[in-house]
């Protein structure tokens, strides 16, 4: 089955954490959640944004970046998206 998806099976098994909860992180998290991927949560310098994105994706918000990374198999910094 992994070969059928072009080697992306590992992504589907990932628990994704977002560093940044701006428009891009929020929207991508919503899209991935709606398409069956697991979201561990959000870390942001703006705690209100992290809380809102976490609530919307039924995940959690983190006040400590290291904790987000520890609880995620893949961490996506919003700046690179």
Condensed to tens digits (0 to 9), the pLDDT of residues 53-75 reads 999 999 999 999 999 999 999 88
Q: What is the pTM of this model?
A: 0.80
As given in the structure block, the two tokens for residue 43 are 């870390």
Contacts of 44 (CB under 8 A, 6+ apart): 19, 20, 21, 22, 25, 50, 53, 61
Computed over every residue of the chain, the mean pLDDT equals 84
What are the structural domain ranges in the chain?
Answer: 3-80
Q: With beta carbons less than 8 A apart as the criterion, state whether 25 and 53 touch.
A: yes
Domain 3-80 is of which CATH architecture? 3-Layer(aba) Sandwich (3.40)
As given in the structure block, the two tokens for residue 9 are 């099976």
Q: What percent of the chain has pLDDT over 90?
A: 64
């Amino acid at each position: 089955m992994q070969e059928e998806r072009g080697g992306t099976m590992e992504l589907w098994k990932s628990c994704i954490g977002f560093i940044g909860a701006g428009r891009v992180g929020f929207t991508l998290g919503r899209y991935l959640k709606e398409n069956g991927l697991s979201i561990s949560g959000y870390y942001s310098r703006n705690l209100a944004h992290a809380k809102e994105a976490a609530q919307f994706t039924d995940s959690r918000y983190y006040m400590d970046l290291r904790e987000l990374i520890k609880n995620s198999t893949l961490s996506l910094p919003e700046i690179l998206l």
